Amino acid sequence: MEIAVLIPCYNEALTIGKVIDDFKKELPNAKIYVYDNNSRDRTAEIAEEHGAIVKKEYRQGKGNVVRSMFFDIEADYYIMIDGDDTYPAEFAHSLLEPIMNNEADMVIGDRLSNGTYESENKRNFHNFGNNLVKGLINTLYKSNINDIMTGYRAFNKFFVKSFPVMSPGFEIETELSIHSLDKRFLIKELPINYRDRPEGSESKLNTFSDGIKVLRTIFTLFKDFKPFFFFLLWAVIFFLLGLAAGIPVIVEFLSTQFVTKVPSAILAVGLEILSMLSLACALILDTVVANSRKQYELELHRVKALIRSK
């Protein structure tokens, strides 16, 4: 069985050599792939010196790198890891075990359960952001995933070859989690240790701008995957706002038989029309998504048959 270690990299010259050596020690028969994403340092050269298979991805963003990796690399089992040496390689065996035993399609390396992320991570608001994203997704999907945004994951071939990567950047982890929940893939979480970046290694994440991108991704995927609840929510909001604007007009008309609050009446009618349009969108798009899910299930059967034939 062939194992592929996937390492997307951008300016990780300080740590990439150690990450490769650690995985060669833990998984000596695995192929280690480093996809260099326009690094301005010696990341690619160092990765080659340490024996990795190095390729270039010129479209900037981690999502673009993962997309190319999933397209290009053929293996039975995959491990995705960041090149910043924050995830210990020795947990690779425990992440792969449920995949190899057909207990999961994706295994998540959970940094948050044992408290090492909160103690090691020195970046302000990252813990708050992780908890916010986790709460939103678990509420929307009635799930209990503890670490939505971890970069340490294992996959089987079935998952990799059927996952449509849409996010271009660091939102990819959020997309992986939401896609898995929405398409009912088997997910398992295992606690792992986390360590902060070594001295001199700088994070590529911007707490606020990348946080906004992640929230925008959740908003977009919620609209795409659960349009009935998305547009029903807007229908209720518009209905209540229209009611608030229209009640004084109705009360005035019932008591005087006249309407002097014409702007309020127009506003109320407009809001109620928007509410009805949102409800219509909810019903129509719910049918569209249901048919899309059926088509995706048929595509999964085709992918699984293709994998088995190989």
The mean per-residue pLDDT over the stretch 296-301 comes to 90
- 3-state class of 101 per DSSP? coil
Tokens of 30: 């695995």
DSSP letter at 14? T
What confidence category does residue 81 fall into, taking pLDDT thresholds of 50, 70 and 90? Answer: very high
| Residue 310: per-residue pLDDT | 72
The mean per-residue pLDDT over the stretch 184-210 comes to 77
Percent of the chain with pLDDT strictly greater than 70:
91
| Residue 149: per-residue pLDDT | 85
| Residue 112: per-residue pLDDT | 85
What confidence category does residue 121 fall into, taking pLDDT thresholds of 50, 70 and 90? Answer: low
Query: Which amino acid makes up residue 73?
Result: I
User: pLDDT for 199-233, tens place per residue?
Assistant: 665 665 565 676 677 778 778 878 888 899 999 99
Say if residue 297's pLDDT is above 70.
Answer: yes
- 3-state class of 50 per DSSP? coil
Task: Please list, residue by residue across 263-281, b when 16 or more beta carbons sit within 10 angstroms of its beta carbon and e when fewer do.
Answer: ebbebbeebbebbeebbeb
In sequence order, the 6+-apart residues with CB closer than 8 A to the CB of 307 are: 157, 158, 161
| Residue 152: per-residue pLDDT | 95
| Residue 221: per-residue pLDDT | 77
What confidence category does residue 42 fall into, taking pLDDT thresholds of 50, 70 and 90? Answer: very high
Q: Is 294 exposed, middle or buried (0-12, 13-18, 19+ CB in 10 A)?
A: exposed
User: pLDDT for 231-283, tens place per residue?
Assistant: 999 999 999 999 999 999 999 988 988 888 899 999 999 999 999 999 999 99
Say if residue 147's pLDDT is above 80.
Answer: yes
In sequence order, the 6+-apart residues with CB closer than 8 A to the CB of 148 are: 130, 133, 134, 137, 173, 174, 177
- 3-state class of 27 per DSSP? coil
**Listed range (31-45, 114-128, 229-243, 250-264) with the worst mean pLDDT:** 114-128
| Residue 257: per-residue pLDDT | 87
| Residue 275: per-residue pLDDT | 97
- 3-state class of 279 per DSSP? helix
Say if residue 110's pLDDT is above 80.
Answer: yes
Give the residue among 125, 221, 122, 207 at the shortest CA–CA distance from 172. 221
What confidence category does residue 131 fall into, taking pLDDT thresholds of 50, 70 and 90? Answer: confident
Query: What average pLDDT does the structure give for the chain?
Result: 89
